[in-house]
């Protein structure tokens, strides 16, 4: 049954060549050792996001949020792209997939080789001063005393989007543009509950795109929006799709 779904999905993306995009979430990096947010044992089980990841709580108690962030840095720094990331990079090399919209801040799609990655929720490579707006590379700042400070004494915040903050406008605009123009969207490893990221498949669908979801669990999109639901992990399913795509185009 899953074999037939994979064959169908491969046919869909080959026929949508150059008009295929992907929306990814924490699940695609789970097999790289980075915990997701809402699965069992996920980050939001341990930390209340409103207390640690809301911009108001960051401004009130930046050292508290920084402690949580430093706990994440180790798995983030150690992580390497897994077969899910590498499969999406291969689809780009084949000229099929053009763009990835990712909610992840880990940079693993770029490391895998994808060249057009929209970082919808920012990234973990930079920090930004809340007072003067100066940006620093994360590895250039001292984190011996928390919170780290700018040369203007302002508080530094990771360049990732916190709850209560807007999505960077260039990322939001491009995400709508590519979602509105695609013919097929792969939705991989996201619970699809955080907006506006979760509205991209909905928007793509209203513009006529085929939605292909890859996830071990169903999501709010599964029955409502997705044309195909391929149950399984990204690291297992994406290489199977890539293999089938190669059979079709060679
Ligand atoms: P979630 O933790 O909400 O969802 C992870 C999804 O990945 C779930 O649907 C899992 O079933 C699925 N999953 C788990 N392991 C997987 C695997 N090996 N392969 C494929 N899928 C797998 O993470 P996101 O949807 O990314 O935002 O969360 C969205 C946003 O909520 C994040 O960007 C972050 C968070 O709060 C902010 O902090 C602003």
Could you give the CA distance from residue 123 to residue 212 in angstroms, rounded to a whole number? Answer: 26
CATH architecture of 1-33+81-121+167-250: 3-Layer(aba) Sandwich (3.40)
Could you give the CA distance from residue 26 to residue 196 in angstroms, rounded to a whole number? Answer: 16
CB of residue 32 inside a 6 A radius of ligand 1: no
Ligand 1 mutation pick, 175, 215, 235, max ligand atoms within 8 A of CB: 215
How many Cα atoms are found within 13 Å in the side-chain-facing hemisphere of 83? 11
Please tell me whether residue 23 adopts helix, strand or coil conformation: strand
Region 209-227 average pLDDT = 98
pLDDT of 30 higher than 80: yes
Q: Determine the pLDDT at residue 240.
A: 98
Quote helix, strand, coil % in the chain, to nearest 5: 45, 20, 35
Please report the DSSP string for 143-159 in residue order: -SSSS-B-TTSPBEEEE
Q: Do the Cβ atoms of 10 and 229 come closer than 8 Å? A: no
Out of 85, 109, 121, 170, the active site residue is: 121
Q: Rounded to the nearest whole angstrom, what is the distance from the C-alpha of residue 19 to the centroid of ligand 1?
A: 24
Residue nearest to atom 21 of ligand 1 (CA): 189
| Atom nearest to 217 CA in ligand 1 | 11
Instruction: Provide the token pair at 76.
Output: 């983030």
CB of residue 45 inside a 6 A radius of ligand 1: no
pLDDT in tens, 149-190: 999 999 999 999 999 999 999 999 999 999 999 999 999 999
CB of residue 155 inside a 6 A radius of ligand 1: no
pLDDT of 72 higher than 90: no
How many angstroms separate the Cα of 228 from the Cα of each of 9, 13, 107, 151, 201? 7, 12, 27, 51, 12
CB of residue 189 inside a 6 A radius of ligand 1: yes
Q: How confident is the model at residue 83 (pLDDT cuts 50, 70, 90)?
A: very high
Residue nearest to atom 18 of ligand 1 (CA): 233
Q: How confident is the model at residue 200 (pLDDT cuts 50, 70, 90)?
A: very high
Q: Most distant CA pair in the chain: distance in Å? A: 60
Region 5-20 average pLDDT = 97
Tell me the residue length of the chain: 250
pLDDT of 220 higher than 90: yes
| Atom nearest to 42 CA in ligand 1 | 2
- Contacting residues for 33 by C-beta, under 8 A, at least 6 apart: 75, 78, 79
Q: Determine the pLDDT at residue 3.
A: 86
Residue nearest to atom 16 of ligand 1 (CA): 27
Could you give the CA distance from residue 91 to residue 246 in angstroms, rounded to a whole number? Answer: 10
pLDDT in tens, 94-142: 999 999 999 999 999 999 999 999 999 999 999 999 999 999 999 999 9
| Atom nearest to 31 CA in ligand 1 | 18
**54 is known as an active-site residue:** no
Could you give the CA distance from residue 134 to residue 154 in angstroms, rounded to a whole number? Answer: 10
pLDDT of 1 higher than 70: no
How many angstroms separate the Cα of 236 from the Cα of each of 7, 30, 57, 165, 243? 15, 12, 38, 34, 11
Q: What is the pTM of this model?
A: 0.96
Q: Determine the pLDDT at residue 215.
A: 98
Average pLDDT, the chain: 96
């Amino acid at each position: 049954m899953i074999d037939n779904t994979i064959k169908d999905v491969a046919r869909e993306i080959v026929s949508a060549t150059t008009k295929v995009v992907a929306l990814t979430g924490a699940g695609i990096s789970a097999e790289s050792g980075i915990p997701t947010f809402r699965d069992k044992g996920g980050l939001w089980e341990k930390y209340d996001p409103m207390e640690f990841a809301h911009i108001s709580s960051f401004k009130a108690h930046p050292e508290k949020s920084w402690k949580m962030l430093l706990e994440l840095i180790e798995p983030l720094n150690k992580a390497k792209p897994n077969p899910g990331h590498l499969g999406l990079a291969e689809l780009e090399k084949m000229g099929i997939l053009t763009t990835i919209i990712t909610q992840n801040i880990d940079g693993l799609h770029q490391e895998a080789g994808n060249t057009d990655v929209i970082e919808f929720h920012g990234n973990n490579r930079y920090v930004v001063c809340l007072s003067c707006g100066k940006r620093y590379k994360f590895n250039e700042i001292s984190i011996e005393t928390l919170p780290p400070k700018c040369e203007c004494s302002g508080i530094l915040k990771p360049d990732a989007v916190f709850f209560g903050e807007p999505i960077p406008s260039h990322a939001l605009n491009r995400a709508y543009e590519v979602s509105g123009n695609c013919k097929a969207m792969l939705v991989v490893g996201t619970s699809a509950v955080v907006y506006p990221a979760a509205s991209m498949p909905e928007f793509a669908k209203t513009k006529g795109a085929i939605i292909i979801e890859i996830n071990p669990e169903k999501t709010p999109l599964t029955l409502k929006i997705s044309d195909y639901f391929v149950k399984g992990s990204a690291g297992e399913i994406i290489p199977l799709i890539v293999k089938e795509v190669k059979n079709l185009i060679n």
